[in-house]
Chain A
Amino acid sequence: MITEDQDSRISDLYRQSSQETPPAHIDRAVLELAGKSVRRRPWSPFGNHWVAGGALAGVVVLSVALVLDVPRQAEHSAPAQDAPAPAREAQPEVHKETVQRRVLPSERPAGSEAKRAAPAAPAPRFDFYGTLPDSEVVAPQAEPRARLQQAPSVAAEETATTTPAPAAVADESAGVTTAPSVAADEPASAAPAPATAVKESTATTPASQGAWYLQVGSFREKHRADELQAKLTELGYRCAVHEVRVTDTDVFHRVRVGPFAGKDTLEKSKLGLGAAGFQAYAVRVEE
């Protein structure tokens, strides 16, 4: 992959991950200060009604505190502060509906706020990355790394209890019609892969290079990974928890179903997991 593509990838990744917004109390403080500066009380129900400066002690104190705290910089050499003192300004034309319609950003629906706060971000499906890092289900709806065929697989109804075909990674030439060989201790109901001629993408790897899994979750806390694994096992999926040390301080516990013999079985399991409420996405793990 050439440098420019990788740069784009870095930029995209960054935008997906960078979603934090200021806390609500900060928004309020800024808006209050701005409102005071135009001599308008933000939540006044009285429209044009002029409010004497300092009507709200709290607001005044806050704005005074903010103003006095501001460092003196050179950009716009500031004469004495005038924000708290009710210096009369020529009243510009007033927007009568300004006060009634104004809604604090913190009161706006969270979804739109998130979208507004990150105008350059990609589709909103990545918004939830701004929340806690240990949320239950990890996967985005897109599959950035999946090499699956785009043709949708057979309808999902039958796959609710599908067990993925275990063990050896399929030969490309064999397609995916291998009869699944069930491991001895495995709860079984394996669904045979359909006979559609599956054109393997190059990413179905020979055994020496790794295998495909469905990753269902990744957690810092092991017990949450164990819980997820237990649930999946109950549903009939063979899965395991892999521990990965990401940095000196970060260990992630990943819950993965697999390995899969081929794309079809993986896809069916993915749909099955989706029907059960788990979002999973395909990962290739090199051994």
Chain B
Amino acid sequence: MQRYAGGDMEAFERLYERHRGGLYRYFLRQSHPLVAEELFQDVWARVIQSRKRYRPKAAFKTWLYTLAHNRLVDHWRREGSRSIETSDDDCPEAATADAHPGPQRLVDLRECLEQLLALVAGLPEVQRQTFLLRHEAGMTLAEIARAMSTRAETAKSRLRYAMDRLRAAIAKECLEG
């Protein structure tokens, strides 16, 4: 990023290439595809705008996803429809399997994948974001906490909730192998 700040376009390309997929999917799992595209572009536009002001206080990735998180929250506020900062520290108990589609057995791997994506989309927002920062951005709990402006303990319990819920809801065949 610093190299891009110095005008190195190739450096930007490398940064972009490295993060474009994860960042895009981060938004894609949380909003309509067209909205995801818009938010995605906005974040990169901000990165570009801030080129000369960039100071390597934190890893680029953390900064990028902090921008992303804030942009998403901002988007939801504008939409006015969601309660964003849901009950922070009291994550619900390990979820029951009420979201399970029923007695059908899923043994096709692709169905497992599709079901999992649907389950991720159905997670409560902060838990979903935590899950995505872990799995799309590859962040540690400390990084997640920083990106979401919360404590590491909170991030940990949110991730635990997300994993518990996914595990409970997905067809158990998908967990085998």
Q: Do A and B bind each other?
A: yes
Closest to A135 in B: B110
* Interface residue B142 (Cβ < 8 Å from any Cβ of A): no
A13/B118 in contact, CB under 8 A: no
Note all chain B residues with C-beta closer than 8 A to A102: 9-10, 13
Stretch at the interface among A64-72, A161-169, A269-277: A64-72
| A285 CA to B171 CA, complexed, in Å | 13
Closest to B51 in A: A37
Over the window 13-45 of chain B, the binary record of Cβ atoms lying under 8 Å from chain A Cβ atoms (1 yes, 0 no) is 100111011101100110000000100111011
B113/A16 in contact, CB under 8 A: yes
Over the window 236-248 of chain A, the binary record of Cβ atoms lying under 8 Å from chain B Cβ atoms (1 yes, 0 no) is 0000000011111
A252/B28 in contact, CB under 8 A: no
A229-257, CB < 8 A from B: 244-248, 250, 252, 254
* Interface residue A194 (Cβ < 8 Å from any Cβ of B): no
Interface of B is mostly: helix
* Interface residue A196 (Cβ < 8 Å from any Cβ of B): no
| Given A18-B117, A34-B4, A252 contacting B45 (CB threshold 8 A) | no
Note all chain A residues with C-beta closer than 8 A to B13: 31, 34, 102, 105
* Interface residue B146 (Cβ < 8 Å from any Cβ of A): no
* Interface residue B82 (Cβ < 8 Å from any Cβ of A): no
- Considering only CB atoms and an 8 Å cut-off, how many residues of chain B contact the other chain? 68
Over the window 109-123 of chain B, the binary record of Cβ atoms lying under 8 Å from chain A Cβ atoms (1 yes, 0 no) is 111111111101000
| A70 CA to B71 CA, complexed, in Å | 10
A69/B42 in contact, CB under 8 A: yes
A1-25, CB < 8 A from B: 1, 3, 6-7, 9-11, 13-23
A17/B117 in contact, CB under 8 A: yes
B54-111, CB < 8 A from A: 54, 63, 66-67, 70-71, 74, 101-102, 104-111
Closest to B74 in A: A71
Note all chain A residues with C-beta closer than 8 A to B109: 16, 138-140, 144-145, 281
B44/A246 in contact, CB under 8 A: no
| Given A1-B176, A7-B167, A246-B101, A105 contacting B25 (CB threshold 8 A) | no
The contact sample of 21 A-B pairs, CB cut-off 8 A, is A6-B167, A11-B135, A13-B170, A20-B28, A22-B20, A30-B44, A33-B48, A34-B13, A34-B48, A37-B49, A38-B9, A38-B12, A67-B45, A69-B45, A76-B46, A76-B53, A92-B6, A116-B17, A143-B177, A145-B176, A244-B105
Known: A17-B112, A20-B24. 16 other contacts (CB 8 A): A7-B167, A13-B170, A14-B120, A17-B116, A18-B29, A23-B37, A38-B9, A71-B71, A73-B67, A73-B70, A75-B46, A89-B52, A117-B21, A119-B18, A138-B110, A246-B101
